């Protein structure tokens, strides 16, 4: 094809048809420009397709992470229901109709659940990978990007959840040693000690302990409310992601 064009140019110049040559040259330039524009268009389309594929991949991965986050929240909520019942049982030691052996039995039965707690932290691997690779721009929906940023950058370990951890540790550190008695050491550790007897334990007269139990219960209620809102945020995110998935 280039040979034909060269022969045609040579023929026009040889025959002194300069005006026709200029017309031909202009047409050749137009064809070259059209070719370049088509190549650029094809390249742009290919890049757009690559970006869309990346977007779809990340959205699917984020959606899977959000589903797992939702399940993790339900685990926390289920545990909190169990622990609320345990705290209610522990408050029973303040009843003046019980003796200390009965109070210890309640306390001992509640220990395993009471010393534990559950916190929620979202799985951020996919989102962090997007940030590290600077590919969050592949998400075309600016509203969705804002929702994702708000969700993943929220300080979940602070606020209510942090306070719940502090209160729980306080009770375990301060109140639980009260039940390390002579009888406890003998039963659990097979040790004869000079620790005080269970009969001398007066934790059931300690208003701070009762207040702390109530405080933990109250904080878990607030945590449940916070996690309920987080579940709502997750559902909104999943719905918005579904709208952006092809």
Domain ranges of the chain: 18-244
pLDDT of residue 135: 79
d(CA 137, CA 150): 16
Structure-model confidence comparison of residues 108 and 2, the more confident one: 108
What is the DSSP secondary structure assignment for residue 134, as one 8-state letter? Answer: T
Beta-carbon contacts of 6 under 8 Å, excluding residues fewer than 6 positions away, are: none
Q: What percent of the chain has pLDDT over 90?
A: 59
pLDDT tens figures, 9-59: 555 555 555 555 455 556 667 666 676 766 666 666 667 667 788 889 999
Which pLDDT band holds residue 62 (cuts at 50, 70, 90)? Answer: very high
pLDDT of residue 141: 92
- Whether the pLDDT of residue 8 is over 60: the answer is no
HSE-up of residue 236 (Cα within 13 Å, Cβ side): 14
Structure-model confidence comparison of residues 119 and 176, the more confident one: 119
CA distances from 68 to 62, 144, 233 (A): 10, 19, 14
Mean pLDDT score of the chain, rounded to an integer? 86
To the question of pTM greater than 0.95 for the whole model, the response is no
pLDDT of residue 44: 61
pLDDT of residue 66: 97
Residues 183 and 197 sit within 8 Å (Cβ to Cβ): yes
Task: Give phi and psi for 7, each to the nearest 5.
Answer: -65, -40
d(CA 204, CA 242): 54
pLDDT tens figures, 78-118: 999 999 999 999 999 999 999 999 998 998 899 899 999 99
């Amino acid at each position: 094809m280039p040979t034909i064009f060269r022969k045609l140019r040579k023929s026009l110049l040889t025959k002194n048809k300069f005006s026709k040559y200029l017309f031909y040259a202009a047409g050749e330039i137009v064809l070259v420009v059209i070719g370049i524009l088509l190549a650029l268009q094809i390249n742009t389309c290919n890049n757009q397709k690559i970006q869309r594929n990346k977007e779809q991949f990340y959205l699917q991965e984020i959606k899977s992470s959000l589903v797992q986050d939702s399940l993790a929240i339900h685990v926390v909520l289920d545990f909190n229901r169990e622990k609320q019942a345990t705290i209610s049982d522990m408050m029973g030691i303040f009843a003046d109709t019980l003796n200390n052996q009965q109070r210890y039995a309640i306390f001992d039965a509640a220990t395993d659940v009471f010393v534990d707690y559950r916190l929620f932290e979202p799985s951020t691997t996919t989102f962090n990978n997007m940030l590290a690779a600077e590919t969050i721009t592949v998400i075309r929906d600016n509203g969705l990007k804002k929702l994702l940023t708000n969700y993943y950058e929220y300080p979940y370990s602070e606020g209510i959840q942090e306070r719940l951890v502090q209160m729980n540790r306080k009770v375990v550190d301060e109140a639980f040693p009260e039940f390390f008695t002579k009888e406890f050491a003998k039963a659990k550790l097979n040790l004869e000690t000079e620790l005080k007897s269970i009969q001398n334990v007066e934790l059931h007269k300690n208003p701070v302990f009762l207040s702390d139990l109530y405080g933990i219960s109250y904080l878990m209620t607030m945590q449940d409310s916070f996690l309920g809102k987080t579940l709502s945020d997750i559902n909104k995110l999943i719905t918005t992601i579904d709208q952006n998935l092809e």
